[in-house]
Amino acid sequence: MLERALRRDRLVVLAATAAMLALAWGWLLLGAGTGMSPFSMTTLAFPPYAGRQIGLFPHEPWDGAYWITMLAMWWIMMIAMMTPSAAPVILLHATVTRRGRAGTQGEAPGLATPAFVAGYLAIWLVFSAAATLLEWLLERAAYVSPMWMWSESAALTGGLLMLAGAYQLTPFKAACLEGCRSPIEVLSRHWRPGAAGAFRLGIVHGAYCVGCCWALMLLLFAGGAMNLVWIAGLSLIVIVEKLTPWGRALGRALGAGLLAAGAALLLRAFSLFGG
């Protein structure tokens, strides 16, 4: 009986997670409400501004509707990018909840797992609000193109690469990554009963996830916030880091590579500026 219920719960959770992922990616592919096609904002070139006229589209004041659009774009993009790597933890939470209740009253997980997911997404909403504010500031300073949503500054691009690379090699990154790779300890330490406890637990796990990935997500300013190549590439990196045996090694190698790429870009930019 319990095993049948667990299989049913897994199917329900997988179906709901897949539906959420499909909706998020579908919204991105439709332009995320920006009125722009993401395919026109996608390029393999790096830096993406290479060979383009910089400063062609000046910053325009954001009204309330545009602030909401940008916030929704960032949040839905985070859902699309982070949900695949979070799916095993969501399944684990549903399984632990079912087993725990089966040992007492035999109740179904109810709202606990949806509340856990809501807490996880809530912490990414906070990150998305910060990213939206940062995008507004960078547009005002003419560092990010309002049209293409990617960096138009070699200094900014190189700095973002070096920031992400350096963070990949820090103990804090390693600790957060370990919390994402081995979530059972985090779940057991912070477990609380009921939907409210599950929501709080989702926030805790989401905090580990943001702590692990925030610097990588800022690379979207370098490659383009709506550049599908960068969105898919960073999503894949996050999945490999969190879910594969070689994730830790990849993270360290990626950090060294980002540092080297950022330093090379900055040296080239400042040598051209000086010459």
Q: Are 175 and 207 in contact (CB under 8 A)?
A: no
**Separation between Cα atoms, residue 229 and residue 250, nearest integer Å:** 19
φ, ψ of residue 53 in degrees (nearest 5): -75, 115
β strands within 208-261, DSSP E: none
Residue 192 pLDDT greater than 90, yes or no: no
Spatial CA neighbour of 160 closest among 173, 144, 147: 144
**pLDDT band, very low/low/confident/very high, at 3 (cuts 50, 70, 90):** low
Is there a contact between 124 and 207 (Cβ–Cβ < 8 Å)? no
How high is the pLDDT of residue 54? Answer: 65
Residue 250 and residue 216 in contact, taking contact as beta carbons nearer than 8 Å: no
The structure's pTM equals: 0.90
Tokens of 242: 């969190």
88-141, pLDDT tens digit by residue?
999 888 888 876 654 444 444 578 899 999 999 999 999 999 999 999 999 999
Report the C-alpha gap between 170 and 105 in whole angstroms.
45
Collapsing DSSP to helix, strand or coil, 226 comes out as: coil
pLDDT tens digits for range 225-243: 999 999 999 999 999 999 9
Q: Locate the domains of the chain by residue range.
A: 2-41+50-274
C-beta of residue 76 within 8 angstroms of C-beta of residue 29: no
